[in-house]
């Protein structure tokens, strides 16, 4: 079985002049190498394709693959994660992870929250600020939390994201609007424990891959899982697998959310505890990072004593079962 790999390589974009922040979501060279090598170890033939431009050229030249392992984030717009899946669907080439609709809805955090709230999923109160004139119209009790509505890897999240006054709200939201040129999501700040839940599988066969608590080494009472914390987690963060009642409620909610949104193959869902001790949905990443030692999903997988090869194998088992047919069979592992 021939598998193409699509991805946005951070080093390539940096060489083109993009900044570290602009490329924060893109993959490191060793991420792609690890996935490529692991797929070969699992018995698959692989071909590195690259980003959406490279895929477009290859498709135009008549190239085809049995399956595409897609981790490309895209560069612009709410549909940036959906572009490659859309192209592949047009050419009827199957691919890993969720479909374009799920990717687009989850990228726009306010849409995802509105949709899930309609299904009774608990999420903190929120509002969307589209421009500077709307900042002063915000009527929510402090403390609040502000972030770009459609970024990942905690881009735009800093110590200033936690807001206690009108002045701080204006300063933080104005800066985010200017920097990211997209609306700002403002939510009620959640002061409690923070979890990220891994999910592997599709539909009724989806299962919890682990509940990992995010523990901050800094002593501040109010702190956020910022871009700085993620980039330097070895010095700033401790992770641990947990299985207490609150963690189990996060796992149950994660599976419910995954099935409501029809996530596929693997992903990660973030939660935080509110002031009343209740678990609240924050956001869903339906195409979670896969660096073997730097991304949350592989970290929680390894904390459970499982190998990166087993994680990629579980993802492939899910996608192969989804697309199963007489011409597509999984290699023997």
Tokens of residue 134, six digits: 């709307």
Q: Return the pLDDT at 131.
A: 96
Tokens of residue 270, six digits: 């973030």
Say if strands 2-6 and 67-70 run parallel, antiparallel, or are unpaired. Answer: parallel
User: pLDDT of 250-284, one tens digit each?
Assistant: 999 999 999 999 999 999 999 999 999 999 999 99
Q: Kindly report whether the peptide bond that precedes residue 327 is cis, defined as omega within 30 degrees of 0.
A: no
Q: Return the pLDDT at 271.
A: 97
Q: Return the pLDDT at 216.
A: 87
Q: Which residue ranges make up each domain of the chain?
A: 2-95, 125-188, 194-322
CA angle in degrees (0–180, nearest 5) for 266-285-63: 65
Q: The domain 125-188 belongs to what CATH superfamily?
A: ATP-grasp fold, A domain (3.30.1490.20)
Q: Return the pLDDT at 330.
A: 44
Q: Return the pLDDT at 222.
A: 62
Q: Return the pLDDT at 19.
A: 87
List, in order, residues 6 or more apart from 247 with CB less than 8 Å away.
195, 211, 213
pTM for the structure as a whole:
0.92
Q: Return the pLDDT at 219.
A: 63
Phi first, then psi: give them for residue 24, nearest 5 degrees.
-60, -35
**C-alpha distance from residue 21 to each of 11, 99, 209, 231, 297 (Å):** 13, 26, 29, 11, 22
DSSP letter (8 states) at residue 95: B
Closest CA to 49 of 39, 37, 64: 64
Q: How far apart are the two ends of the chain, measured CA to CA in Å?
A: 14
Q: Return the pLDDT at 235.
A: 81
128-162 core/surface letters (b: 16 or more CB in 10 A; e: else): bbeeeebbeebebeeebbbbbbbbbbbbbbbeebb
Instruction: Calculate the dihedral angle through the C-alpha atoms of 58, 64, 66, 68, rounding to the nearest 10 degrees.
Output: 20
CB 122 within 8 A of CB 279: yes
CATH number attached to the domain at 2-95? 3.40.50.20
Across the chain, mean pLDDT equals 93
174-183 core/surface letters (b: 16 or more CB in 10 A; e: else): eebbeebebb
Q: The domain 194-322 belongs to what CATH superfamily?
A: ATP-grasp fold, B domain (3.30.470.20)
Which parts of the chain have pLDDT scores under 70? Answer: 219-222, 226-227, 229-230, 325-333
Q: Return the pLDDT at 327.
A: 44
């Amino acid at each position: 079985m021939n598998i193409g790999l699509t991805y946005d390589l951070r080093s390539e974009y940096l060489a083109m002049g993009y900044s570290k922040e602009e490329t924060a979501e893109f993959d490191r060279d060793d991420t792609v190498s690890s996935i490529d090598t692991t797929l070969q170890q699992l018995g698959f033939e692989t071909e590195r394709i690259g980003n959406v431009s490279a895929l477009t050229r290859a498709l135009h030249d008549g190239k085809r693959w049995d399956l595409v392992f897609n981790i490309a984030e895209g560069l612009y717009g709410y549909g940036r994660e959906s572009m490659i899946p859309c192209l592949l669907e047009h050419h009827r080439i199957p691919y890993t992870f969720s479909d374009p609709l799920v990717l687009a809805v989850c990228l726009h955090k306010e849409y995802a929250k509105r949709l899930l709230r309609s299904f009774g999923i608990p999420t903190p109160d929120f509002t969307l600020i589209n421009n500077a004139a709307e900042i002063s119209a915000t009527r929510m009790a402090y403390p609040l939390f502000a972030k770009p509505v459609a970024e990942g890897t905690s881009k735009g999240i800093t110590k200033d994201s936690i807001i206690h006054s009108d002045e701080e709200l204006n300063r933080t939201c104005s800066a985010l609007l200017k920097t990211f040129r997209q609306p700002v999501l403002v939510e009620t700040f959640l002061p409690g424990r923070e979890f990220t839940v891994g999910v592997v599988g599709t539909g009724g066969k989806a299962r919890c891959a682990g509940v990992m608590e995010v523990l901050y080494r800094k002593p501040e009472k109010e702190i956020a899982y910022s871009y700085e914390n993620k980039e330097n987690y070895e010095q700033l963060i401790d992770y641990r697998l947990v299985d207490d009642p609150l963690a189990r409620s996060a796992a149950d909610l994660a599976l419910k959310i995954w099935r409501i949104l029809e996530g596929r193959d693997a992903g990660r869902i973030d939660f935080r505890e509110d002031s009343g001790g209740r678990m609240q949905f924050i956001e869903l990443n339906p195409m979670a990072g896969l660096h073997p030692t730097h991304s949350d999903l592989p970290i929680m997988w390894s904390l459970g004593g499982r190998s990166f090869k087993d994680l990629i194998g579980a993802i492939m088992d899910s996608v192969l079962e989804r697309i199963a047919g007489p011409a597509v069979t999984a290699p023997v592992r």
